Amino acid sequence: MSKRIFKYEIGLGTVFDVPHDFKPLSVAYQGTVLTLWAEVDVTGLHHTVSVTLAGTGHQYEDGDVGEFIGTVFQPGLPLVWHVFVKVEAQ
């Protein structure tokens, strides 16, 4: 098993493929880009990940939105996002 930390640019409705054993570590703005860092096993199979951003006080879809990763403050704007990540089994 070969573990590495990768970063992913994310936004509203982002869906992307990740290596096996994807483990979200943190989320923050890197400059003006919302970024997710995760530990991954680069030798394994791939999975699809979906991201849900929920603004404070805003409604989001019922159902399983996945694991809560963190809360971020958007630079230069009075917006706060709560980030959820769901790994789809493949």
Q: 9-59, pLDDT tens digit by residue?
A: 999 889 988 887 889 999 999 999 999 999 998 887 788 999 999 999 988
pLDDT at 25: 95
- Tell me the mean pLDDT in the region 67-80: 93
The tally of domains found in the chain comes to 1
Confidence of residue 90 (pLDDT cuts 50, 70, 90): low
Residues 6+ apart with CB under 8 A from 63: none
**Residue 76: pLDDT above 80?**
yes
- For residue 14, give its domain range: 3-88
pLDDT at 89: 67
Alpha-carbon distance of 50 to 43, in angstroms, equals 21
φ, ψ of residue 42 in degrees (nearest 5): -75, -10
Closest to 50 in 3D by CA, of 35, 69, 65, 71 = 65
pTM of the model: 0.86
